[in-house]
């Protein structure tokens, strides 16, 4: 038997209910469950309920594993993006900006400006990701917001900022140029991945 569009929607909703939030993972698992139910035959409602009940835990585990595998790939993509010539230029530009600021102010204050730029860019990245996830309901496992990495940078900077300022002008310039370039690379990667996934799942 072939499932109707309504029955496919029902599978999708059932998977959403048990926590399969990312659209790409849900689409793939919906197809898997639908093909299995089609092959098995029987009463659709009863078979779907039985499948979800029996496989709820393993489906959640699969979802987690799929997410980690894909987001690891997305993080690797950030490092690939960083090797592009445009990002070397961005690093030099940020480094130059920090050096310029250090001509007019002490390292602590220049560091604060570098940190402020990082916060604004990270906030943009996070808000855009959250908007897509909650408003458009289009959230893909491979187009993550890199919030964990941003948080690591944030806390490292908060705790090491003073120590960094004491380490000298060169350390301040390199550090803030680096974190801002990485954050821009995360934005570029997130956008690229989002476009790729959106074109796949129209």
Distance of alpha carbon 164 from alpha carbon 155, whole angstroms: 13
Per DSSP, 2 falls in state P
Which one of 73, 86, 96, 168 is in contact with other proteins (CB under 8 A)? 73
- Which x/- pattern over 134-163 shows residues binding other proteins (rule: CB under 8 A)? -------xx---------------------
Give how many residues touch other proteins by CB under 8 A. Answer: 34
Minimum CB–partner distance for residue 94 and other proteins (Å): 29
- Look at the chain and count its residues: 202
Cβ closest to other proteins, residue 2 vs residue 104: 2
Of residues 8 and 119, the one with the C-beta less far from other proteins: 8
The CA–CA distances, whole Å, from 109 to 98, 114, 118, 152 equal 11, 9, 14, 22
Question: Least distance in Å: CB of 196 to other proteins?
Answer: 9
Q: Give the residue with the Cβ less far from other proteins, 44 or 176.
A: 44
Site for other proteins in 89-108 (CB under 8 A): none
Nearer to other proteins among residue 17 and residue 200 (C-beta) = 200
User: Residue 95 and residue 110: Cα distance in Å, rounded?
Assistant: 11
Number of C-beta neighbours around residue 9 at 10 A: 12
Instruction: Give me the least distance between CB of 198 and other proteins, in Å please.
Output: 11
Q: Are 163 and 73 in contact (CB under 8 A)?
A: no
Q: Is 27 in the site for other proteins (CB under 8 A)?
A: yes
Lay out the site mask for other proteins across 28-67 (x = CB under 8 A, - = otherwise). Answer: xxxxx-xxx-x-------------------xx-xx--xx-
Taking the C-alpha atoms of residue 80 and residue 195, their distance in angstroms, rounded to an integer, is 17
86-104: burial string, b at 16+ Cβ within 10 Å, e else: ebeebbeebbebbeebbee
Stretch that binds other proteins, among 72-80, 126-134, 151-159, 161-169 (CB under 8 A): 72-80
CB-count exposure of residue 65 (10 Å: 0-12, 13-18, 19+): exposed
Q: What residue has token string 């998977």?
A: 15
Q: Given the rule CB under 8 A, which residues bind other proteins?
A: 2-5, 8, 24-25, 27-32, 34-36, 38, 58-59, 61-62, 65-66, 68-70, 72-74, 76, 141-142, 200-201
């Amino acid at each position: 038997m072939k499932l109707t569009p309504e029955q496919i929607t029902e599978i999708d909703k059932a998977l959403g209910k048990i926590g399969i939030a990312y659209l790409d993972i849900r689409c793939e698992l919906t197809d898997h469950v639908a093909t299995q139910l089609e092959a098995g035959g029987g009463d659709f409602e009863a078979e779907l309920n039985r499948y979800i009940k029996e496989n709820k835990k393993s489906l959640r585990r699969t979802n987690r594993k799929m997410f980690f595998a894909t987001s690891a790939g997305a993080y690797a993509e950030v490092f690939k993006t960083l090797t592009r010539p445009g990002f070397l230029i961005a690093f030099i530009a940020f480094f130059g900006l920090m050096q310029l600021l250090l001509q007019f102010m002490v390292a602590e204050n220049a560091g604060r400006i570098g940190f402020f730029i990082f916060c604004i860019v990270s906030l943009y990245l996070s808000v855009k990701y959250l908007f897509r996830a909650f408003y458009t309901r289009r959230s893909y496992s491979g187009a993550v917001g890199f919030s964990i990495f941003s948080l690591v940078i944030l806390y490292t900077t908060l705790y090491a900022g003073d120590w960094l300022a004491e380490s000298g002008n060169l350390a301040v310039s390199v550090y803030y140029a680096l974190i801002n370039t990485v954050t821009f690379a995360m934005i570029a990667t997130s956008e690229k991945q989002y476009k790729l996934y959106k074109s796949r799942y129209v």
